[in-house]
Structure 1
Amino acid sequence: MIGLVLAAGAGRRLRPYTDTLPKALVPVDPAGEGTTTVLDLTLGNFAEVGLTEAAIVVGYRKEAVYERQAALEAKYGVKLHLVENDKAEEWNNAYSLWCARDVIKEGVILANGDTVHPVSVEKTLLAARGDGQRIILALDTVKQLADEEMKVITADGKGVQRITKLMDPASATGEYIGVTLIEAEAGADLADALKATFERDPQLYYEDGYQELVNRGFQVDVAPIGEVSWVEIDNHDDLNRAREIACRY
């Protein structure tokens, strides 16, 4: 199993940082000096759970990731492979994850490049393996939900029934936090579902690819992460929150 980070997006709501950097390289250290980024934290998590290799899907401002590749490999002891998304500024992330379809077939822990979270999330996913699950989503069942969150409804013994932002928060089991364990044997099915998803609408999310799998009868499971401090960075308020959280990890 290897790590996989989606880091191709532009993150325009985080300008001026993202004038020159992808979101995954926006500084989350308290001083904002760039000593710690989301990518640093994620690679650190991968290393702590024993992963020695990771792929990063790059697109917008990809040169900034290439420039830091050697330093990141040396710092975290994780060999990095960069996968290029040629439509990063045009299409949404269903296509971005599909670009890594050959990587997914090796079995991955997938992390969004804008999610600050502790290594306990990866540990929870790894601990949940072994009962035939092929895809396991990290689920926050504690947080109070609103309209923007990627919400999930589950059924006992049947896994995910629905995953979308477009549902009543009161009906949701929890929020998908942007970290998934994908076993190698799920890779081909997921790649096919992602392809069908972006061909239907290139602006769809990879989570819509998960829904496509569910609609096809594929069981997608979840692992509750407990009471964990994490944040998805979409804007400057989120970035301030990320800096508060990141210093704890």
Structure 2
Amino acid sequence: MIGLVLAAGAGRRLRPYTDTLPKALVPVDPEGAGTTTVLDIALGNFAAVGLTEVAVVVGYRKEAVYARRAELESRYGLRITLVDNDKAEEWNNAYSLWCARDIIKQGVILANGDTVHPVSVEQDLLKARGSGRRIILALDTVKDLADEEMKVVCDGPSAGVRRITKLMDPAEATGEYIGVTLIEPEAADDLADALKATWERDPQLYYEDGYQELVDRGATVHVSPIGDIPWVEIDNHEDLAKGRTIACRY
């Protein structure tokens, strides 16, 4: 199993940082000096759970990731493969994850390049493996939800997903998907096919819509509750300020 980070997004709501950097390289250290980025958090977590290889899907301002690859490999003791997304500035992340379809065949822990979270998330996902679970989503069942969150409905905190979308009444949701997934190798081909159907239907769809496609086809997508822990998806400057208060605890 290897790590996989989606780091192709532009993050336009984080300008001026993202004038020259992809969202995953926006500084989350308290001083904003760039000593810690969202990508650093993900790589550090992967290394902490014993992974030795990571793939990073890059697109917008990908040259900044290429420039830092050797230093990141040395810092975290990882071998990093970069996967180019040629449509990162045009299409949404269903296509971005599909670009890593060959990587997923090795089995991955996927982390969005805008999620600051503790290593306990990866640890819990690894503990949840087995019993035929092919795809396991990290789920926050504690947070109060609003319109923007990627909401999940399942029959129970540890049951299969029935629905995953931002477009639902928050009161209906079991919790929020935080952007971290464990994907077993045997799920790779089915997931790739579902993602392809998703971006061909609408290239602006999310990879979570690919998960829904799988569910609609009869597959089971499981969840693993993360408990009451500090984490944030960084979309704007308010999120970034919160991310900096969280990142310094790790």
Q: Report TM bin, short chain.
A: over 0.9
Q: CA RMSD in A?
A: 0.7
Match of 1:55 in 2: 55
Q: Give the Cα–Cα distance (whole angstroms) in 2 for the partners of residues 14 and 144 of structure 1.
A: 24
1:238 and 2:245 are equivalent in the alignment = no
- Quick one: which amino acid aligns to residue 161 of structure 1? R
Sequence identity of aligned pairs in percent?
80
Shift >6 Å, 4+ stretches: none
TM-score, length-normalised on structure 2? 0.99
Q: Give the Cα–Cα distance (whole angstroms) in 2 for the partners of residues 236 and 224 of structure 1.
A: 27
Over residues 28-75 of structure 1, what are the superposed CA-to-partner deviations in whole Å (9 max), with x where a residue is unaligned? 000000000000011000000000000000000000000000000000
Match of 1:22 in 2: 22
SS in structure 2 opposite 1:80?
strand
Instruction: Please say if residues 159 and 223 of structure 2, whose CA atoms lie closer than 8 Å, have aligned partners that are also in contact.
Output: no
Q: Give the Cα–Cα distance (whole angstroms) in 1 for the partners of residues 110 and 27 of structure 2.
A: 21
Instruction: Please say if residues 10 and 60 of structure 2, whose CA atoms lie closer than 8 Å, have aligned partners that are also in contact.
Output: yes
- Quick one: which amino acid aligns to residue 245 of structure 2? E
**Within 5 Å, which residues of 2 pair with 1:147-158?**
147-156=147-156
Q: Which residues of structure 1 form unaligned runs of 5+?
A: none
Q: Give the Cα–Cα distance (whole angstroms) in 2 for the partners of residues 158 and 187 of structure 1.
A: 21
- Quick one: which amino acid aligns to residue 241 of structure 2? N
| Aligned-residue offset at 1:158 | 5.0
1:4 and 2:4 are equivalent in the alignment = yes
Over residues 173-208 of structure 1, what are the superposed CA-to-partner deviations in whole Å (9 max), with x where a residue is unaligned? 000000000000000000000000000000000000
- Quick one: which amino acid aligns to residue 179 of structure 1? V
Over residues 135-161 of structure 1, what are the superposed CA-to-partner deviations in whole Å (9 max), with x where a residue is unaligned? 000000000000000000002475000
Aligned length: 249
1:195 and 2:196 are equivalent in the alignment = yes
Q: Give the Cα–Cα distance (whole angstroms) in 2 for the partners of residues 184 and 130 of structure 1.
A: 12
- Quick one: which amino acid aligns to residue 236 of structure 1? H
Q: Which residues of structure 2 form unaligned runs of 5+?
A: none
